[in-house]
Amino acid sequence: MSVQMVLLPVFALVGLAFALMLLRMRSTGADRPTADGPREPFDLPVLFYALVAIALPLRKMDLVLVLLSWVFVVARFAHAGVFMTAGDDRRSGTVWLAGALVLLAMWLYFALRILLLI
């Protein structure tokens, strides 16, 4: 079984997770998902950890993914800072969305590298 065939369902599930996050944002009219409990802050980091856990042993963790990883981590720190200090939902949502878009770009880049054998 090829790596592409094994990881295709993973990519589909990650796409579903991002789609559900966007639908949640849309349905609430907010610029970030509303918290449905203690797991919401962990949605993005879990997708990040999964990407690294898959890319590293496949030797697909290149400079682009490492740099984007640092951008994502900085966005998460910024989000935590805004959330903990200002409590401003609009600014917090904007920073959350920036991190989510970086993570989406990472997954798309990784998926293309795997599926196109780059």
Among 26, 17, 3, 9, smallest CA distance to 46 is for: 17
CA 59 to chain centre: 20
**What length is written for the chain?**
118
Q: In the chain, what are the domain boundaries?
A: 3-115
Q: CB of 33 within 8 A of CB of 25?
A: yes
pLDDT value at residue 39:
41
pLDDT digits (tens, 9 = 90+) for 3-59: 777 677 778 778 777 777 777 777 666 555 554 433 455 588 889 889 999 998 999
